[in-house]
Amino acid sequence: MESAQENNCMEENGVEKKRLGLLRVKVDQEDPGAKGLDDLMLRRFLRARDLNVEKAASLLLRYLKWRRSFVPRGFISEDEIRNEIAKEKMFLQGVDKKERPIMVALGVRHTYYDRDLEEFKRYLVYGIDKICASMKEGQEKFVVIGDLEGWGYANCDFRAHLAAVEMMQDYYPERLAKVYLLHAPYIFWTAWKLVYPFIDSNTRKKIVFVENKRLKETLLEDIDEGQLPERYGGKLPLVPIYK
């Protein structure tokens, strides 16, 4: 049995390696600027499209075009996201038991009436790029704790929520390991029903709604107490992502 499983794994790895090579050739032909991309990035886009070379190439080429346009200097500066930074709604500290960095997002600090959508998108890129840069060698994914305590009508922002979903799926595929959603109030489910159809099946499997009575217990299944934020029963203070 083990031998058969090992053979299947080897065959799958062989197929992926072959298609990775085909993807590199195709993307390099379409976009000479792609020649500097490493195999890890190409593999993420390939896996995001179930090893379909054509679909993966289309997604990757679209990403490269977007990146040059949206992040022309290669990074988002804090001067470009002053309004978002001032709200201190995104934090980065600690890792889970698989050494994946943890991002904490406080939903109540995002309000639709005083946000600029383009600045919000830049803020997302700033945060995701920063958490990806913090990863240890060999690690490619991160974990999100989305805290919805106090979330209400003022925090319901369909365009911003959809922008976040699309950005993760289209421009950062295979980066998200798991999302824990905490303290989801009744009103949140109305917004969730609107956004849910836009979330692909692979991403849906990574979303976990945590019961209040099992909050710490659930988080400790994947995160050591010493790496868990204090507000959830751990030992780490929240550190704003810009620090």
How high does pLDDT run on average in the chain? Answer: 93
How many domains is the chain built from? 2
pLDDT for 7-29, tens place per residue?
A: 455 456 788 999 999 999 999 99
Mean pLDDT of 143-166: 97
The answer on 224 and 148 residing in a single domain is yes
Mean pLDDT of 221-229: 96
Tell which wins on pLDDT, 7 or 152. Answer: 152
User: How many residues are present in the chain?
Assistant: 243
Tokens of 158: 């369909």
> Residue 27 maps to which CATH number?
1.10.8
Triad 239, 216, 235: Cα angle to 5°: 40
Residue 6, domain extent: 2-70
Residue pointed to by tokens 């031998």:
3
> Residue 115 maps to which CATH number?
3.40.525.10
The answer on 222 and 123 residing in a single domain is yes
The answer on 205 and 137 residing in a single domain is yes
pLDDT for 170-180, tens place per residue?
A: 999 999 999 99
pLDDT for 25-39, tens place per residue?
A: 999 999 998 988 999
pTM: 0.91
Tokens of 91: 């934090």
d(CA 131, CA 103): 7
Last residue of a domain, one of 31, 50, 70: 70
The answer on 221 and 178 residing in a single domain is yes
The answer on 206 and 114 residing in a single domain is yes
Mean pLDDT of 111-130: 97
Burial class (CB in 10 A: 0-12, 13-18, 19+), 173: buried
The answer on 149 and 199 residing in a single domain is yes
